Amino acid sequence: MIIIMRIDVTPDEIANVTKRIEHYGARVHPIQGSERVVLGIVGDVRKVNQDEFMLMPCVDRILPVTRPYKRASREFSAQNTVVPMDGIKFGTDEIVIIAGPCSVESRVQMLEIAHAVQEAGATVLRGGAFKPRTSPYAFQGMGEQGLEILAEAREATGLGIVTEVISPEQVDLISKYTDMFQIGARNMQNYPLLHKVGEYQMPVLLKRGLSASIDEFLLAAEYILSHDNSRVVLCERGIRTFETATRNTTDINAVPVLKERTHLPVILDPSHSTGHWQYVNAIARAAIAAGADGLMVEVHNKPEEALSDGGQSLKPERFAEMVAQVRAIADAVGRTISTKTIHN
Ligand code: PEP
Ligand code: MN
């Protein structure tokens, strides 16, 4: 942090700022320029209450130098973090493909889709049992029965399971069925929920909020990491913009920016980021070309009958086509598609 003092600052005022900075456990390095005094603040500046200094008449501006997050930052770990989920690993050279329907709708539907996505190359199965729907009248999910179906599909295929948790009270129940918690875009800043999943040594798929900046996204991850649960995988899923041709706008920039700012694995969800099945394949390829560590794709055997997000769901054949094309891109950037399941 750098504090730029006003031109007319007095030695007493500098001494006062220094005393207050030291009160927060940080240190001051004054730099006397030809016109101004600039104070370089070193140490753990995250504890410094910037407002106190902004309010001082002798302070002109404050410039942050360190990122507001700590454990999530690249400075904290130069090496990429690998998030294990039994035999499956996020954050290696192997790209992990998560696929499945938006919602668990029935046992038959889920088992059929599970086998189809496995056949096509996915190693993790998605499906919401508790759905955070925009409308309270829309299908809200099958609840615990849906979790039982997911567990059965896991047993039948060896696919890892990821399912969404929408309130802290559900975390314990869901932990008994799933391999990974999903925190959805609408809950990215649900702090009690972030605290709660942080208390479990289980992987968390954290989706970017609809209007969250990259720093806000990483601060949400920091909540989980601050509990010593370092198993966080970040998921770019599109952001709100003025564009209405697609449901959201894929922030493809977020992939390299996140890879630079954090050591955590980064995956992309082209289904929610576009909202139309026609664009999913192209954006899946773009994500891998941009350096994503994985994909999360909605797949449905009968999209026209889906209880949620049918319009953005790929049919299994189209998903298989997508995986084949993604494989070619992975090859071009020196990566492969993971074939590991929870058993190996
Ligand atoms: C989902 O994955 O089905 C979902 C609700 O996604 P998001 O939270 O990104 O909207
Ligand atoms: Mn969905």
The string of pLDDT tens digits covering residues 215-230 is 999 999 999 999 989 9
User: Number of C-alpha atoms within 13 angstroms, CB side, residue 183?
Assistant: 31
User: Number of C-alpha atoms within 13 angstroms, CB side, residue 96?
Assistant: 30
Which residues have CB under 6 Å of ligand 1?
A: 102, 128, 132, 184-186, 207, 237, 272
How much is the pLDDT for 171?
98
Question: Rounded to the nearest whole angstrom, what is the distance from the C-alpha of residue 184 to the centroid of ligand 1?
Answer: 5
Q: Indicate whether 322 pLDDT > 70.
A: yes
User: What does the DSSP assignment read for 234-299?
Assistant: EEE--B--S--SSSSB--TTHHHHHHHHBSS-EEE-HHHHH-SHHHHHHHHHHHHHTT-SEEEEEB
- 45 pLDDT band (50/70/90 cuts)? confident
User: Number of C-alpha atoms within 13 angstroms, CB side, residue 170?
Assistant: 19
Kindly give the interhelix angle for 144-157 and 107-120, rounded to the nearest 10 degrees: 40
Span 125-140, pLDDT tens digits: 999 999 999 999 999 9
How much is the pLDDT for 344?
63
How much is the pLDDT for 228?
87
Nearest CA to ligand 1 atom 8: 184
Nearest CA to ligand 1 atom 6: 184
Nearest CA to ligand 1 atom 1: 102
Give dist(CA 190, CA 95) in Å, integer: 29
**Distances in whole angstroms, Cα of residue 226 to Cα of each of 153, 190, 210, 223, 308:** 33, 15, 23, 5, 34
Q: Indicate whether 46 pLDDT > 90.
A: no
What does pTM read for this prediction?
0.92
Q: Is 337 helix (H, G, I), strand (E, B) or coil?
A: strand
Question: Rounded to the nearest whole angstrom, what is the distance from the C-alpha of residue 293 to the centroid of ligand 2?
Answer: 20
- Ligand 1, atom nearest to 182 Cα: 2
Least confident range of 40-44, 130-134, 178-182, 289-293: 40-44
Nearest CA to ligand 1 atom 3: 102
> How many residues comprise the chain?
344
Q: Indicate whether 68 pLDDT > 90.
A: no
Mean pLDDT, rounded, for 149-161: 97
Q: Is 93 helix (H, G, I), strand (E, B) or coil?
A: coil
Question: Which of 188, 246, 269 for a ligand 1 pocket mutation test, highest count of atoms within 8 Å of Cβ?
Answer: 269
Q: Indicate whether 343 pLDDT > 80.
A: no
Handedness of CA 184, 129, 277, 315 (dihedral sign): positive
Span 199-218, pLDDT tens digits: 999 999 999 999 999 999 99
Phi-psi region of 99 (alpha: psi -120 to 50; beta: other; left: phi over 0): beta
Q: Indicate whether 312 pLDDT > 90.
A: yes
- Ligand 1, atom nearest to 132 Cα: 5
Nearest CA to ligand 1 atom 4: 184
Question: Rounded to the nearest whole angstrom, what is the distance from the C-alpha of residue 74 to the centroid of ligand 2?
Answer: 31
Give dist(CA 282, CA 292) in Å, integer: 14
Least confident range of 5-9, 30-34, 177-181: 30-34
Question: Which of 139, 180, 181, 182 for a ligand 1 pocket mutation test, highest count of atoms within 8 Å of Cβ?
Answer: 182
